Amino acid sequence: MNRSRPARAALALLTAAVLALGAGACGGRATTHHKPGTSHAEDTGSNGRLLSADDGDGHRLRQVGADGAPAVSIAVRADSEDGWNVHLTVRNFRFTPDSVGGAALAGHGHARLFLDGHPLARVYGAWFHLPQSLLRAAGGGTRLTAGLYADDHTAWAVGSTPVRAAATLGDASPSAGATPDENTTTVDIAVKDGKVSPAPGRTEVKKGRTVRLRIRSDRDDTLHVHGYDKKATLPAGRTVTVTFTADRTGLFEVETHESDLLLTQLVVR
């Protein structure tokens, strides 16, 4: 029995060495320090800079560089039975419903829908059915905006502007066989008491499409579409429509001159 003690001691030392090596291989712990389903590179990558500003609904902005930033575009079409079918196309982004509430990871998260600037629904995939009952419960509206959010509910942003896209449901309720104008991107914006509704974001536009801006301000002002050099007078209390063809690619700001407000950013690709 005494002769087996050296062997047991050697085995104990070997076991301790293996455990120590395993603990030091990944941040000094034997267990993984990144979330299941994510790689070490994802967990330690750049997750943006948290800003003090928010998205207008209480979610702080998480700013990332324009190169490789998340992007979204939105398309809507009337459902043959009820309401609308909403399709979100994303780039540099992946829907991760199983990670909601966790830490922010670059290019991951979920989307949120806003109707005329008011929160409507959270979306965990590319398609969403918007029934008439939900529209009625929200008080109605036509301007549908989609924004991209991280798992920790912060809003992805570029240049201090939330990553968003918008579409118009139409002036009338959808019905069987009704389809929106597929060649026109309509943007409805209201300015009241110095605030823009919905909150300024990015509107994705495909090159060659028609852009229709419908702006209503509670005070006299002037509208300017930079890059396209489109201007219009905004009489107080009236809706003014500006229409043009998006024949130039790039990022173009739409703003008011007298009140110096950013209304939206047109991203033409």
Two structure tokens written together for 81: 């039975």
Two structure tokens written together for 7: 């062997």
Note whether 60 and 167 are same-domain residues: yes
Note whether 79 and 89 are same-domain residues: yes
Note whether 119 and 161 are same-domain residues: yes
Taking a C-beta distance cutoff of 8 angstroms, is the pair 126, 95 a contact?
A: yes
What residues have CB less than 8 Å from 91, skipping those under 6 apart?
Answer: 70, 71, 72
Closest listed residue to residue 93, CA positions, set 64, 62, 63, 70: 70
Split into its structural domains, the chain has a count of 2
Place of tokens 């943007």: 187
Note whether 130 and 154 are same-domain residues: yes
Domain termination residue (choose one: 133, 159, 180): 180
The 10 Å Cβ neighbour count of residue 256 is 20
The pLDDT, as a whole number, for residue 25 is 40
Place of tokens 């399709």: 87
Angle 84-76-126 (CA atoms, 0-180°, nearest 5)?
Answer: 95
* CATH code where residue 215 lies: 2.60.40.420
Q: Model confidence at 182, in pLDDT bands (50, 70, 90)?
A: low
Note whether 163 and 103 are same-domain residues: yes
Note whether 88 and 173 are same-domain residues: yes
Q: Over the stretch 194-246, which tens digit does the pLDDT of each residue have?
A: 988 888 888 888 899 999 898 989 999 999 999 999 999 999 888 888 999 99
Domain termination residue (choose one: 180, 202, 220): 180
Q: Give the number of residues written for the chain.
A: 269
Note whether 222 and 132 are same-domain residues: no
Residue 121 lies in a domain: yes
Residue 85 lies in a domain: yes
Taking a C-beta distance cutoff of 8 angstroms, is the pair 112, 149 a contact?
A: yes
Note whether 193 and 106 are same-domain residues: no
Distance CA 11, CA 23 (A): 19
In the beta sheet, which residues pair with residue 205?
A: 268
| DSSP 8-state secondary structure symbol assigned to residue 139 | T
Q: Over the stretch 183-204, which tens digit does the pLDDT of each residue have?
A: 788 888 889 889 888 888 888 8
The 10 Å Cβ neighbour count of residue 93 is 21
Q: Over the stretch 119-177, which tens digit does the pLDDT of each residue have?
A: 999 999 999 999 988 988 887 778 899 999 999 999 999 988 999 998 888 633 333 33
Taking a C-beta distance cutoff of 8 angstroms, is the pair 71, 65 a contact?
A: no
Taking a C-beta distance cutoff of 8 angstroms, is the pair 141, 135 a contact?
A: yes
* Phi and psi, residue 39, nearest 5°: -85, 165
The pLDDT, as a whole number, for residue 239 is 84
- Domain of 208 in residue numbering reads as 182-269
Note whether 74 and 102 are same-domain residues: yes
Residue 134 lies in a domain: yes
Cis peptide bond upstream of 235, omega within 30: no
Angle 123-168-139 (CA atoms, 0-180°, nearest 5)?
Answer: 70
Query: What three-state secondary structure class fits 4?
Result: helix
pTM of the model: 0.54
Q: Over the stretch 6-53, which tens digit does the pLDDT of each residue have?
A: 556 555 555 554 444 444 444 433 333 344 444 333 333 468 899 999
The pLDDT, as a whole number, for residue 125 is 96
The pLDDT, as a whole number, for residue 36 is 45
Note whether 175 and 188 are same-domain residues: no
Using DSSP bridges, classify how beta strands 202-205 and 262-268 pair: parallel, antiparallel or unpaired: parallel
